[in-house]
Structure 1
Amino acid sequence: MTPSHTNLATGIPSSKVKYSRLSSTDDGYIDLQFKKSSQKKSPPKISYKAIVLAMVLFLIGTFLIIIGSLLLAGYIRKGEADRAVPVLIIGNLVFLPGFYHLCIAYYAS
């Protein structure tokens, strides 16, 4: 005696499920998926906080890159030139996400 399998989703034993073939003319599409909805969609909301944050990151990163470059070139004398490298690294780490998100905001507009 073999155990009968049951369909867990419906609880119907598999021996009582009837299958039928799909028609050969069915291409897998229905008309409803191409019908436009009659409801008007509101325009997407603009996230001003994200744009301001991206701008702040961009400006701080630009400022740190400029200061780091001036430290490295010797125009600003605050100790040794070793302090310029961390300032440049932090400036790049802050500048890149700000620049990226400002570009996305620009292209979205």
Structure 2
Amino acid sequence: MMPSRTNLATGIPSSKVKYSRLSSTDNGYIDLQFKKSPSKIPYKAIALAIMLFLIGTFLIIIGSLLLAGYISKEGADRAFPFLIIGTLVFLLGFYHLHIQRLLRLLL
């Protein structure tokens, strides 16, 4: 004789579980699963992207003024770190602003 199966979550033997057939008209789908939920606007990500963009722009401007000799006439060796870091931060901010704009258009 084979032992009867039990539902492990409740401990009820499988012979006592009640099953019901799905209706044949809905094919197992409900309308709620196709409803598009409203998208949330990522305010923190947009604020961070704007800050990165502005800081990068500021550093590029400072680096350019140092390189041109308007701020300090001591040489271009101080300008290159500003330009490199400013360019990296500017590109990150621009990229994220661009992605956020695309996501808002798509959603």
- 1:19-57 Cα offsets, whole Å, 9 max, x none, are xxxxxxxxxxxx87xx7x511332121110000000000
Runs of 4+ in 1 over 3 A off after TM superposition: none
- In structure 2, the partner of 1:3 is none
Q: Where do 1:23-62 residues align within 5 Å? A: 38-39=31-32, 40-62=35-57
Gaps of 5+ in 2: 1-26
Cα deviation, residue 63, structure 1: 0.3
- In structure 2, the partner of 1:92 is 87
Cα deviation, residue 102, structure 1: 0.4
Note the aligned Cα RMSD (angstroms): 1.9
CA distance in 1, matches of 2:45, 2:37: 20
Q: Between the two proteins, what is the percent identity of the paired residues?
A: 68
- In structure 1, the partner of 2:22 is none
Aligned residues: 76
Cα deviation, residue 85, structure 1: 0.3
TM-score by length of structure 1 reads 0.62
Q: Where do 1:7-22 residues align within 5 Å? A: none
CA distance in 2, matches of 1:79, 1:90: 20
